[in-house]
Every structure is written in structure tokens, then in C-alpha cells.
Amino acid sequence: MEYALLMRPDNDILYRYLTGDLDEAEKIQILEWLQDEDNFRDFQELRTQWMQTGLAMVDTDDFAPQISKVLAKTTRKKPTRTRKLSDTWVRIGRVAAVIAVVAGLSLFWKFYDQKPAFQEITYSTTYGQIKHITLEDGTAVTLNAKSKLSVLDMGQVRKVQLEGEGYFKVNSDPEHPFKVITPELSLVVTGTVFNVKAYPEDKAINTTLLEGKLSVKPQDKKEKGIVLKPGQNANYVKEFDFLSVEPANFRTATTWMENKISFRNETLEQIANSLGRWYNAEIILDEHSLDKGRYTGVILKNKPLEQSLIVISQIADCRYKIVNKDSGNMTVRFY
């Protein structure tokens, strides 16, 4: 009777087969070795133990004792024999079982290697506060007072949601667009510097582009949005669902980061909203006695509110009265 010498793969190859880390030549070596009944049975036992303990192993050496215990001998002799028809069907069944094992391991590792779902992160500011943030992709964001930024995803599409005002320096990555969502607008960029002012209480949303390229479109519109060029501002009027493009004023759009409230051709209501967010004040306007003019000027944020109120009353030719000072939340009425 003749004997064939059947060499099993070494521990490292067996371990890497279990973890799905083999090249094509090594996979063929394993599959050929598994054609033998005893080898296949030993492998099934090895796989069972690996499934029970393998996830806790960090390298081949940790699992080597298990391999050696199951496959006690490096070589063994087996008689060669003529295969009968029944042997052929057994062999086919064994090959099918091997394929099932391989498929099962592939599915297992496909599931096991999946990255966990992105955990939403939220940043916010309160009255009179400015916050500087660096996102996971390197994008720098500065949030103005009473603002909130929710980071929804940093995967194939980088996506954030803004309520309030933010200044963005988006890290350039053409393969992963950066999307800013507000309740009314959707902005898409790759690498760009821009400012978005989108407070819920304001009647309009303003997007000012300083560098790069930026697409702006209303959320409920299917058509392509407006593409801004540097030096342009997109003005979206909520009441009329109207989006227009106009020349930008960089100073007005960004001086809030320099401890200033800058307003240009704005109504008294717009100015009052900006003051209220910074000073934690409720400002009430008597619309019947105040004119509907528009005003331009700058207010320093490091000055007391009452000093700013005097400036506004002089510019708008009106009077004001402080109604309440309790708990740091001041109420002011202009008339």
C-alpha cells in the first residue's frame, strides 16, 4: 500500500485564513488541504474553537496553542486508495461544505468589519458667546451667539446642520462634498470659505462667499441651486421663498468675529435681533410709532447694552425704556 505525505499549512496561514487575510495562492493551498476528510474534520473543530475565542485574540501567537492542540501532528501518512462513485459524492459534499464555510466566514467578517454608525455631535453657543470648532475632517467653524451646529455625518458626504450664524473654512476634499443644511436652504461646497446667517427669528438667510465655489438652493426645490462666486451674497427671503444674488459686503458679514455688531441698510427689527442675541435682552419695537427706515452702523460688543441703546436711539431718532433688569435678562422697549 502506498502512502501520500499530506502537509498541513502552518499556524500563521491557518490563522489568516480564519481572519480572511490570505492571498490567492494561500487560499488555494488551504482549499486543497481541506479536500481530505480528516483535515476537514480537524478544521471544523478548529473553526468552532476560533468562533468561541478568536475575537478576543490579537495576533497569531495568541491562537497558536489552539491550532496546535487541534492539529496535533505536523504531518501524517495516509494510504492512497482508488475512489469509488460513493467516494466522489462524499468529496463533492465536502467541497460544498468548504465553500459554505468560506462564504460564512466572508459574511461574518463583512459584518464584523463594518464601521459603526456615525454619532451625531452638536455644538452650541449661548447669549454673548463665540465658539471656535475644528471638525473631524479639519474644517474650521466659528459660531456666533445663540447658534447651534449639528455634525450629522463625516463620511462620503460631510453633512452639518446650522441654526444661527457660522463662519466656515471647509477643508478641501472634492471626493467628499461638504453640505450645510438649514431649515430652508441647502449649501454644497468642497473647499470654500463662507459665512451663513440663518437665525430662525430673522426674515431672511444670508450666505456670503469669500473664497472658492458654493451652491445654494431652497430645500423643497428639485432644480439645481444658484452657484455663488467669491464676493457674492445669496439672500433668501423666507416669506416669499425667494432667492437672489447680490454683491457681498465682507466687512458687514464677518465683523461679528471682531466683537462688533455691524449692520448695513438694515431695519430696526434686524438690529434689535442682533442686540438681543448678544446681550440676552428682549427688545420690543412699537411699530406704530417707529418709522420703517434702514440704517447703517457699527456697535461694539464690549460696551454695556445701555450705551448701545443710546446709539440706536440716536440713529433711528426714537426713544427707549428699560422695562425689566431681573436675572440678567433685560427687556427693552423702543417707541
Amino acid occupying residue 134: T
- 153: closest CA among 139, 166, 165? 139
Backbone angles phi, psi at 170, to 5 degrees: -80, 125
CB atoms near residue 110 (< 10 Å): 10
Residues 301/316, Cβ–Cβ less than 8 Å: no
Return the pLDDT at 327: 62
Residues 238/205, Cβ–Cβ less than 8 Å: yes
Return the pLDDT at 13: 76
Return the pLDDT at 102: 55
Buried b (16+ CB within 10 A) or exposed e, 228-250: bebebbbbbebeeeebebeebbe
Return the pLDDT at 46: 74
Cell 441703546 maps to which residue?
309
Return the pLDDT at 64: 57
pTM above 0.75, yes or no: no
Per DSSP, the residues of 131-194 read: EEEE-TTS-EEEE-TT-EEEEEEESSSEEEEEEEEEEEEPPP-TTS-EEEE-SSEEEEESS-EE
Domains of the chain by range and CATH?
3-112 (no CATH), 121-253 (2.60.120.1440), 259-334 (3.55.50.30)
Residues 168/194, Cβ–Cβ less than 8 Å: yes
Return the pLDDT at 221: 77
Ranges of residues in the chain with a pLDDT under 50 are 1-5, 54-60, 73-83, 85, 109, 111-113
Burial of 64 (0-12, 13-18, 19+ CB in 10 A): middle
How far is the C-alpha of 238 from the C-alpha of 184, rounded, in Å?
Answer: 8
Cell 464690549 maps to which residue?
302
Taking all residues of the chain, what is their mean pLDDT, rounded to a whole number?
81
Return the pLDDT at 112: 47
- 235: closest CA among 272, 261, 204? 204
Return the pLDDT at 34: 76
For the chain, the first-to-last Cα distance in angstroms comes to 114
